Amino acid sequence: EGYRGAADYTVDASRFQTAQTAAENAKEIVKKYAGYSDYDKLSAYKREICELVEYNTEAAESGDTPYGDPWQLIWVFDKDESTNVVCEGYSKAFQYLCDMSEFFDSGVRCYTVTGTMNGGTGAGAHMWNIVTMENRKNYIADVTNCDGNSIGADDKLFLAGATGSAAEGYTVTVSGHPIVYVYAGQNPYEPDMSEMYGDILQIAPEKYEFLYIDSGT
């Protein structure tokens, strides 16, 4: 609706520039951290996103906001402090930066999944990322709940390990508080895409630990 022109099936051409500018800003972030290690690159992406936006509580709770920019990534990268997103925007933005990146280890991959979460910003529908690192283990990257004053700030829910499974739900314990992620396949209203994801849904039990290697130079 936000991009609609004078009629239902026309587009407001002035909005093209907003999208193009956001895309260019995202590319600049990827370029800025191109030489960083894979772990530092991912951490920088999380930090950049959290610095660019805040959680859009109004869009998430009001029920009056048409599905559009608060759920997308353009408002993450438009450099406008007044435009903010919900979890879908955070996770899509992180995925977008990863998709444009060249990692030193070709096995590093980012995926986006949906489901529900109990804890952090509250109980309800949620979207987050799963990252496969160079050790071929998979970790939860909940950028939304690493932002602001959330229980995961600023990296407690980034590349986090979890107990449980996709079938039972993942549990990440932060400061004694359990954060439960239930993959959409266990929700009767969401499609089960577990066969497509395969082993990606098997989360490592411990948080990722990056080992810095001293080259002696």
Q: Which residue has the higher pLDDT, 64 or 164?
A: 164
Q: How confident is the model at residue 215 (pLDDT cuts 50, 70, 90)?
A: very low
C-alpha torsion sign, points 89, 95, 99, 104: positive
How many CA atoms does the CB half-sphere of 167 hold within 13 Å?
A: 3
pLDDT digits (tens, 9 = 90+) for 162-176: 999 888 899 999 988
Question: Please, is 39 exposed, middle or buried when counting C-beta atoms within 10 Å of its C-beta (0-12, 13-18, 19+)?
Answer: buried
The per-residue pLDDT for range 92-124, each reduced to its tens digit, is 999 999 999 999 999 999 999 998 998 765 678
The answer to whether the beta carbons of residues 47 and 39 sit under 8 Å apart is no
Cis peptide leading into residue 154 (ω within 30°): yes
pTM of the model: 0.92
